């Protein structure tokens, strides 16, 4: 993401707004990876992630004129995409296992000695997606932005304090539901 | 625990876009660009209608409030002033009530359609 040039974004946006539609391809090429991966973190389904990212690019194209250049293009783009992904998940929720079911499943598995770390990690990520939407969104975007609270707050269009509170609450829920799972490595180290 | 959670959730696999993704997006964008622009709602033309509707509604509200404030004993003896009588007569003869009702219904259906269309996007 760091290699992406803000100047290239600005040039392409201005060209698209001037009627040069093929210039939008530059934007798609530069941002397809981040937008698909952000969608994937929300839905954990590759096909659906691409569909959601395509819709996000379309929405970006439609509202390109509303980008006020006081914020970086990427900030605005991520906010547009995050907003779309959240409403898409509200419209068509994930066929997720309930948080309690994940906890129950992992409790059973943890009784076996050959409990795989990979399975545990997958279960924790599933549990993040099974959180109530406001905590899930904060957590997904926080980790997507490499644990950068201000960036997550900008994508969610929320104050940083609210995002911090939601992250705290989301973690508390996970801690309550998956205690064995999240403490396993500590026990091994001890 | 936070460190462990951070480690697990941050480690999520990165996926690479499929080869046809850019083409697929650009096709959709071109289709969008070639589609005719939606006809904007004629706000300027509708403004006088909305103003008239507002006046009618205000008059109705004033009438209801006046009637409610009037003591029951005077209600039967009350006669409206000639100006009000003229306005009421004019409104009644030109079916203003129905026109106001139709306008209100149009406004409501318009707001409803806009909300529906907005929700779909």
Question: Does A52 have pLDDT greater than 90?
Answer: yes
Rounded Cα distance between B54 and A84, Å, is 37
Name the average pLDDT for chain A: 85
Contact A54, A88 (CB under 8 A): no
pLDDT recorded at residue A117: 76
Rounded Cα distance between A141 and B56, Å, is 51
Q: pLDDT grade, residue A4 (50/70/90)?
A: low
A37: nearest Cα among A114, A176, A140: A140
Q: Please report, rounded to a whole number, the percentage of residues in chain A having pLDDT higher than 90.
A: 60
Distances (CA, A) of A109 to A97, A181, B11, B79: 16, 10, 22, 86
**Taking the domains of chain A in order of start, what are their residue ranges?**
6-91, 99-189
Distances (CA, A) of A51 to A1, A43, B87, B89: 21, 11, 60, 61
A36 lies within 8 A of chain B by CB: yes
pTM confidence score: 0.67
pLDDT recorded at residue A168: 93
A114 lies within 8 A of chain B by CB: no
Q: Measured between CB atoms, which of A21, A37, A185 is closest to B33?
A: A21
Q: pLDDT grade, residue A170 (50/70/90)?
A: very high
CATH architecture, domain A6-91: Orthogonal Bundle (1.10)
Residue A43, judged by CB atoms within 10 A of its CB (0-12, 13-18, 19+), counts as buried
Question: Does A85 have pLDDT greater than 70?
Answer: yes
pLDDT recorded at residue A160: 95
CATH architecture, domain A99-189: Orthogonal Bundle (1.10)
pLDDT recorded at residue B74: 63
pLDDT tens, position by position, A109-156: 555 544 567 788 888 888 899 999 999 999 999 999 988 999 999 999
pLDDT recorded at residue A113: 46
Residue ranges in chain B whose pLDDT is less than 70: 1-2, 72-80, 118-121
Residue A36: its chain B contacts at CB < 8 A?
15, 17, 21
Residue B11: its chain A contacts at CB < 8 A?
121
């Amino acid at each position: 993401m760091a290699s992406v040039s803000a100047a290239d974004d600005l040039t392409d946006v201005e060209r698209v707004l001037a009627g040069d539609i093929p210039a939008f391809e530059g934007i798609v090429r530069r941002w397809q990876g981040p937008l698909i991966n952000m969608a994937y973190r929300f839905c954990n389904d590759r096909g659906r992630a691409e569909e959601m990212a395509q819709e996000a690019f379309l929405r970006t194209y439609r509202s390109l004129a509303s980008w006020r250049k006081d914020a970086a293009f990427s900030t605005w783009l991520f906010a547009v995409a995050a907003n779309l992904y959240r409403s898409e998940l509200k419209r068509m929720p994930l066929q997720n296992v309930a948080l309690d079911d994940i906890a129950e499943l992992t409790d059973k598995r943890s009784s076996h000695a050959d409990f795989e770390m990979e399975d545990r990690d997958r279960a924790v990520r599933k549990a993040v997606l099974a959180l109530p939407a406001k905590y899930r969104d904060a957590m997904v975007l926080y980790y997507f932005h490499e644990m950068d609270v201000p960036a997550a707050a900008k994508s969610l269009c929320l104050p940083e304090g609210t995002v911090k509170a939601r992250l705290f609450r989301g973690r508390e829920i996970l801690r309550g539901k998956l205690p064995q799972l999240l403490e396993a490595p500590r026990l091994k180290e001890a | 625990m936070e460190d462990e959670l951070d480690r697990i959730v941050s480690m999520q696999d990165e996926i690479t876009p499929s080869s046809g993704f850019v083409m697929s997006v650009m096709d959709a964008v071109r289709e969008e660009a070639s589609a005719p622009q939606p006809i904007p709602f004629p706000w300027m033309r509708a403004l006088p209608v909305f103003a008239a509707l507002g006046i009618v509604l205000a008059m109705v509200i004033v009438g209801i409030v006046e009637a409610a404030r009037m003591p029951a004993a005077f209600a039967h003896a009350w006669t409206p002033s000639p100006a009000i009588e003229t306005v009421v007569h004019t409104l009644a003869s030109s079916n203003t009530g129905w026109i106001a009702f139709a306008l209100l219904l149009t406004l409501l259906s318009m707001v409803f359609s806009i909300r529906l269309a907005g929700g779909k996007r």
